[in-house]
Structure 1
Amino acid sequence: MQGETTSPTTKQQSRLASATMRALHALPLLLTAAPIEAASSWTSVHTGGGGGFIPSIVFHPKAKGVAYARADIGGMYKLNSDDSWTPISDGIAQDASWHNWGTDALALDPQNANVVYAALGLYTNSWDPNNGCIAKSTNQGSTWTFSNLTFKVGGNMPGRGTGERLAVDPANSNIIYFGARSGHGLWKSTDGGVTFSNVTSFSNTGTYREDPSDTTGYQSDLMGLLFVTFDSTSSTINGATSRIFVGVADNVTASVYESTDAGSTWSPLTGQPGAFLPHKCKLQPTEKALYLTYSNGIGPYDGTDGAVWRYDLTTSAWTNITPVSGSNLYFGFGGLGVDMLKPGHLVVATLNSWWPNAQIFRSNNSGLTWSPLWEWASYPSTNNYYGLSTSNAPWIATSFWDVTNNEPLGWMVESLEIDPFDSNHWLYGTGLTIMGGHDLTNWDTVHNVSIATLANGIEEMAVTGLVSVPGGSELLVAVGDDSGFTYLSSSNLGTAPSTNWMSPEFTSSTSVDYAGLAVADVVRSGNAAGTQQIGVSSNGGSTWSIDYGSSTTAYGGTVAYSASGDTVLWSTASQGVLRSQYTNSFASISGLPATALIASDKQNDSYFYAGYASTFYVSSNNGQTFAAGGSLSGASQINYVVVHPTIAGQVYVSTDAGIYLSTNFGSSFALLTSALKNVYEIALGVGSGSTWNLYAFGTGSAGSKLYGSANNGNTWTDLQGTQSFGAIDGCKLAGSGNVAGQVYVGTNGRGVFYAKVTITGGSTTATSSTSTSNVKTTSISSSTRSSSTTITTTATTLSTTTHSSTATSSTSTAACTVGQYSQCGGSSYTGCMNCASGYTCQVQNSFYSQCL
């Protein structure tokens, strides 16, 4: 489903299975700070549109201009006066705390505009091994403290758009309530969020499961409690608000409960609606009324029926104010905005009206009558009472609105808010972006409002592949839900693309690669059966076409392009490893296990490489067959394979034991470094002069994070510092092929970051696998953050032993041959020097000779 990623990466799933849960009643705050100003060292690659589901937007009730948004997998953001957003959780989701980018609830202290609370955690099932926490900031998200919970929190679980599950007592800043999932009930803090205890007097922990038969636990978990709403107009008892409402995912007995004694006792509201699940509950204090939206699904994807109700706090009377009925009611309701300056004025949104568009209704008389944002004219035409603009993210119009003309108003609309200080200012979250505008009251007069995408600064994409092409496109980004993006040069990284990857537009792209000797040739794979899932480009990813050699049943996995761009190797998710040459049909490859890691030599068209478990494989016949290559002695798991962009046969392999290097086309390997263990993705990028930097996600002296080496692994620098990238085993990595010292990190939910780094320890040179290395003292540096884009370092040291091995090449450089356009010589070149019959090795420059 576009605009939403629901599950962790395969690597994350394997790592999650080994963790255990702690059972503690209430823990004190863990005092760890993450200054958001430090994030200036790492900059987001700009899309301008968000890219994923925004479950909630929250305005402060008493402080003008203070508002926040939460993403399900991409952290939290603070609204700026120019409609842009600033991330406020980029320092709290390091590798060990990666699930802190999942946010299931937000709450603001009505008495203190600087205080923000959030319920953090991603999954309540086994995908996330960690219990959740309640995070607190006293400076609008600049720093955070954390109170650990004894159970999990589900920021990316079903029902994540309901709420808010977290609320601060408007009469007492020390009192915070949290409605938990999974049958854990209602929790309360009386010390400003330092500790939380179960409210045992609240006994209904929910009965609704989206799909009780789901064995993964994702849809079969109890949805639990859905919202906590205080009646600020009620009296106080011992300094606490006396009247509180709690919503429960229970469509059997009762779903809305009330306390009139400050939470001591609870009872279901008399006469409340049945059958449906409540999603939002908003107080209009002047009217002394509650407004509630209902759906027959928990959201954010489902719902085929629903209602909107008003509850009078004075008379206890319920009124059904649902805007439509009969055959016009084919959806549930989610988003609800109540105007605080104009009592009786409100807007409600369809949760999912999948065709032909979302619908928003507005009432000026407390729901007695409604007017829609659009309505049918002469079918299939509609009268649209709005205008659309997407100047912040032009690709949204190009790739969504202009293609299908369906659902330009969005989908999964769970949050719809009116600024409490400006009746014209409204925002709503969708499965793709944030939308809204500044002329809402025009609805009441000319009945035509201006709606724009307003998610500038929010980068919420799950990145599945990154490539920077030497001499070609600066950055190719494959993403989930939104296909992918091309940035032709480094100067484009701060500009929202005019289009995403289209023709074909895969809902999710899974991989991207380029041809080393024909750098304008690019290939990518998609993740949906039913259509061809290979796209090719001959202009660096500016435009694409379908590779009709691919079938409609193969999908997913990773792709590798041969050096000259004549052959595609595809390790699919569905049909093993496939090969196509000259855009002919893909055929199965013998000798490789299904889902093997694959890579192509970037200078020699004959060679492809692969890895599975601890075995390395080599093909010297353009991917037709593979055989076992050199041994990775001491390693039990290959995690990634990368090939030097300009040196044929120089292959790096990351493993649980460290990084291994071959300089003879994978015939033999030496352990390049053991300073890093459990190394995941690695990448090469241009360094100073003619050298290349090596980048790696692994565990070193500074912890599990991103490191860089400018001397081929002899010394390493911590490049990450306090910047969060989430789980490092799910991150994607690319070194710039064109800008010295520039490195890119793709995250699972926060888009792409980049920085121009300085690495201590000398220049990079190729290391021969025949050399013998002795024990060295290796420098690993802890980075400090500054306002510039260069990371400075303070060195610490560790000792590492570099193992040696004697390499015996099975392919002599004097005897082997390479084909047309392949490299055959140059400074530091160690590959084949003979050209195939009919071609001559011709010098192009001192570093590169080519068969022509």
Structure 2
Amino acid sequence: MWTSKALALLLAAAPIEAAFSWSSVKTGGGGGFIPGIVFHPKTKGVAYARADIGGIYRLNSDDSWTPISDGIAQDSTWHNWGSDALAVDPQNADVVYAALGMYTNSWDPNNGAIAKSTDQGSTWTFSNLTFKVGGNMPGRGTGERLAVDPANSNIVYYGARSGHGLWKSTDGGVTFSNVTSFKNTGTYREDPSDSTGYESDIMGLLFVTFDSTSSTISGATSRIFVGVADNTTASVYVSTDAGSTWSALAGQPGTFFPHKCKLQPTEKALYLTYSDGIGPYDGTNGAVWRYDLTTSTWTNITPVSGSNLYFGFGGLGVDMLKPGYLVVAALNSWWPNAQIFRSNDSGTTWSPIWEWTSYPSMNQYYGLSTPNAPWINTGFWEVTNDEPLGWMIEALEIDPFNSDHWLYGTGLTIMGGHDLTSWDSAHNVSISTLANGIEEMAVESLASVPGGSELLVAVGDDSGFTYASSSSLGTAPASNWMAPEFTTSTSVDYAGLAVADIVRSGNSAGTQQLGVSSNGGSTWSIDYGASTTAYGGTVAYSASGDTVLWSTASQGVMRSQYTNSFTSISALPATALIASDKQNDNYFYAAYASTFYVSSNNGQTFATGGSLSGASQINYVIAHPTTAGKVYVSTNAGIYASTNFGSSFTLLTSALTNVYEIALGVGSGSTWYLYAFGTGPDGNRLYGSADNGNTWTDLQGSQSFGSIASCKLAGSGNVAGQVYVGTNGRGVFYAKGTITGGSTSGTSSTSASSTSTSHATTLTTITTSTTTTGSTATTTTHTSTAATTTSTCTVGQYYQCGGSGYTGCTNCASGYTCVAQNPYYSQCI
């Protein structure tokens, strides 16, 4: 049995009055996979969306979204930004439930929880589970796995993964017990041979759907349907006695997995979508079925057949105001576009949202716009005509109070519109991106350039963004980083004496994975000195911008001057940390394990620098933006500083230990603030210091950043007291305030929209990648454990080594094996 600890949302470990007020840097487009959207069935305007790694959001009346889980994913509870299911209470519009957790395998050491809010997400209580929840696992788009009895608000069902079966609460989510009469806990494993447990875990239960038209027994709805990932015996089960007994639903389709099951109460019918894959990436066959509750008969209403059926079905929207009207979506039609079908006669006939005329010409019965995120047009739709309608479409809903209003989730954003019924008359609809307020990106690197671009953001899946000034932080960029456009940009750096010069690295082998800019990141060009086999890792630009040092993921540490070909730096271990002195072109710095390295000849050679007595692991290295030779190093023992180009170091303070990423930013007067993620007097949090680390102040308060080991950090080079935090799933946060000694006066920046707001990790390094444009779960500490130089084409732990269309290195470093995560991505495990 689970028992609720009744933990309030506002249980901050640090004094709130000491913290800054945080806002989101705006992209306006989401940026990752939205697997679930839920409308309240009886109260107009209440709806929620869940992201796989970026938390939960509530819909606003202006089509924007408000994050409602930002306070519940602290360092020790980072997995709470993963959400595997949502449910609303049909009798109370203020109540919302969520199944929280990130992974069911060893990547997440934490058991999951069922969270409940009675005020639409302002505060939460938790019923802790005795097993894990997989918000970023395969099959996360099925469901919803949570459901509240429409006749009894005290009854809540949850269908678990991993063979844990069906669970029930009879006290409004305070406690849950296993429904032992429900025997089939699922048999399907996506890849039983996967040693990581990511694809070899039992998929379990897929959805819980109540029949609100059925009678009640002792105040509970009598008929309940549950979906199971079992394609060998039966996948849909029914109870007609309020959950006391269960049986396989007679006459049901076989072979495929059910993804969605929706009731149309006026018709007294269930609609179900099926796919031969569990999603969200796979599926090459599938079906749509209608089940008549009155006659207990099944009807195959699949919109297409034969060669036109090359995908499974996921998203399903049923119109509650117009019986017989519905839309369904291809789960994955990877080329040339997603496909959505509309029926106004209960699935007897269908019309598509596009169709071929004479190949390659087609009729497109829609118009597209992205006013909230123009970079989606320039970075995706204009680059290729493939998939403008999206991919990985599992969430698809019609507003129960407005037949024209519909929303659907993709691997990139939320889309939809307000003229769905025009499909029935003009056979044309207007579709927009509608994810304003959702910020669901895994941030790989941040930089703020003194005298230059205010913020450079390297991200997974969406390349990256440039914000020229602080005033632009609340405006969605016109373009992401393009020409070259890397799927994932892993690092970005600037030249301290030539601040318009920027360099960035990408993570997709097969083309040159370095981009350079001479105008602060407004436009880019390819660095042709890079080979097509080197990728990933981190970059450092020399002070004058003539030399790039690149600690690659595939070929060790390399150097190039004047855009010439890169040569290997044999003195440095592979994956070493690197940094450049920002004022002296001769100096680069590096670190590996507990050893610090210095180059005084522009990176040509490196020698061992000063020792860091008491530290056994260096986590990050930064150079002072305006003072030559001043270097800071974060370690497991605290922060060390050097004023003589790394020849010797001094431990700044013992107040912070186990320090991860650090940053410097302009402070009040002539001071520079020092920022650090580490273990301090208020726990594992973000701290700031105005006196070079002598005293520290908690800047975080109740704001969640997820695991501090995976956070990225930058202090503003231009705005006093402004600091940026890049998260592993919730984009970039920023705040502005004054740090004085050991206390803080925090003020929020006024340039961000008040409604602006997608894996994470413990202290070990993990990476889970999805598709090239879905939401990527990337977690990195800044450490390495094996000093292996790479002379052949091999890649390190957690980097890509295969997948459809992949042309990079397929050999993993010693000790690791290339394991398929999905048809499009394999990684070294």
- TM-score when scaled to structure 2? 0.89
Aligned to 1:550: 530
What pairs up with 1:232-271 in 2 under 5 angstroms? Answer: 232-271=212-251
The answer to whether the 8 Å contact 1:685/1:692 transfers is yes
What pairs up with 1:198-217 in 2 under 5 angstroms? Answer: 198-217=178-197
The Cα of 1:250 is off from its aligned counterpart by 0.4
Larger Rg: 1
2:567 alignment partner AA: A
Distance 1:99 1:541 in 2: 33
Does residue 314 of structure 2 align to residue 334 of structure 1?
Answer: yes
Deviations along 1:41-87, one digit per CA (max 9) or x if unpaired, are: 21100000000000011000000000000000000000000000000
What pairs up with 1:381-396 in 2 under 5 angstroms? Answer: 381-396=361-376
Distance 1:35 1:594 in 2: 42
Aligned to 1:836: none
Aligned to 2:435: 455
Deviations along 1:558-605, one digit per CA (max 9) or x if unpaired, are: 000001111101111111111111111111102111111100000011
What pairs up with 1:770-849 in 2 under 5 angstroms? Answer: 779=742
The Cα of 1:784 is off from its aligned counterpart by 8.1
Does residue 592 of structure 2 align to residue 612 of structure 1?
Answer: yes
Aligned to 2:623: 643
The answer to whether the 8 Å contact 2:34/2:413 transfers is yes
The answer to whether the 8 Å contact 1:34/1:142 transfers is no
Distance 1:508 1:712 in 2: 34
- Which SS does the other structure have where 1:29 is aligned? coil
- TM-score when scaled to structure 1? 0.87
The Cα of 1:780 is off from its aligned counterpart by 6.5
The answer to whether the 8 Å contact 1:72/1:160 transfers is yes
Aligned to 2:6: 30
Distance 1:784 1:691 in 2: 17
2:408 alignment partner AA: Y
The answer to whether the 8 Å contact 1:558/1:572 transfers is yes
Does residue 382 of structure 2 align to residue 415 of structure 1?
Answer: no
The Cα of 1:211 is off from its aligned counterpart by 1.0
Q: Which moved more, 1:145-154 or 1:619-628?
A: 619-628
2:335 alignment partner AA: W
Distance 1:786 1:512 in 2: 26
Aligned to 2:499: 519
Q: In the alignment, which of 453, 465, 472 is matched to residue 473 of structure 1?
A: 453
Distance 1:136 1:342 in 2: 32
What pairs up with 1:708-787 in 2 under 5 angstroms? Answer: 708-761=688-741, 779=742
1:310 alignment partner AA: R
Distance 2:219 2:577 in 1: 62
2:379 alignment partner AA: S
Distance 1:29 1:416 in 2: 34
- Which SS does the other structure have where 2:382 is aligned? helix
Aligned to 2:815: none
What pairs up with 1:341-740 in 2 under 5 angstroms? Answer: 341-740=321-720
1:719 alignment partner AA: L
The answer to whether the 8 Å contact 2:20/2:700 transfers is no
1:27 alignment partner AA: T
Distance 2:405 2:624 in 1: 52
Deviations along 1:649-694, one digit per CA (max 9) or x if unpaired, are: 1000001110000000000000011111111000000011221100
Aligned to 1:843: none
What pairs up with 1:141-180 in 2 under 5 angstroms? Answer: 141-180=121-160
Deviations along 1:623-651, one digit per CA (max 9) or x if unpaired, are: 11111110000011101001000001100
Deviations along 1:77-104, one digit per CA (max 9) or x if unpaired, are: 0000000000000111011111100000
Distance 1:583 1:681 in 2: 29
- Which SS does the other structure have where 2:584 is aligned? coil
Describe the shift of the 1:741–1:607 C-alpha distance in structure 2 as closer, same or farther (beyond 3 A): same
Distance 1:629 1:484 in 2: 34
Distance 1:788 1:409 in 2: 34
Describe the shift of the 1:784–1:403 C-alpha distance in structure 2 as closer, same or farther (beyond 3 A): closer
2:150 alignment partner AA: P
The answer to whether the 8 Å contact 1:40/1:789 transfers is no
Does residue 72 of structure 2 align to residue 92 of structure 1?
Answer: yes
1:344 alignment partner AA: G
Distance 1:146 1:612 in 2: 41
1:651 alignment partner AA: V
Deviations along 1:215-270, one digit per CA (max 9) or x if unpaired, are: 11111111100000000000111111100000000001000000001101100011
- Which SS does the other structure have where 1:99 is aligned? helix
Distance 1:785 1:394 in 2: 30
The Cα of 1:715 is off from its aligned counterpart by 1.0
Q: In the alignment, which of 284, 292, 296 is matched to residue 272 of structure 2?
A: 292
Distance 1:412 1:230 in 2: 26
- Which SS does the other structure have where 1:757 is aligned? strand
**Alignment root-mean-square deviation, CA:** 1.5
The Cα of 1:33 is off from its aligned counterpart by 2.1
The answer to whether the 8 Å contact 1:35/1:143 transfers is no
Distance 1:230 1:586 in 2: 62
Aligned to 2:301: 321
Describe the shift of the 1:787–1:722 C-alpha distance in structure 2 as closer, same or farther (beyond 3 A): farther
Does residue 284 of structure 2 align to residue 281 of structure 1?
Answer: no
Structure 2 gap segments, 5+ residues each:
753-829
Deviations along 1:473-492, one digit per CA (max 9) or x if unpaired, are: 00000000000000011111
The Cα of 1:758 is off from its aligned counterpart by 1.7
- Which SS does the other structure have where 2:656 is aligned? coil
Describe the shift of the 1:789–1:654 C-alpha distance in structure 2 as closer, same or farther (beyond 3 A): farther
- Which SS does the other structure have where 2:738 is aligned? coil
1:755 alignment partner AA: A
* Residue correspondences, number: 748
Distance 1:787 1:712 in 2: 24
- Which SS does the other structure have where 2:422 is aligned? helix
Distance 2:233 2:81 in 1: 34
The answer to whether the 8 Å contact 2:555/2:574 transfers is yes
1:273 alignment partner AA: P
Distance 2:599 2:107 in 1: 36
Distance 2:303 2:407 in 1: 20
The answer to whether the 8 Å contact 2:737/2:746 transfers is no
The Cα of 1:301 is off from its aligned counterpart by 0.5
The Cα of 1:760 is off from its aligned counterpart by 2.1
Distance 2:195 2:527 in 1: 37
Distance 1:452 1:40 in 2: 34
Deviations along 1:417-458, one digit per CA (max 9) or x if unpaired, are: 000000000000000000000000000001110000000000
The answer to whether the 8 Å contact 1:629/1:666 transfers is yes
2:702 alignment partner AA: T
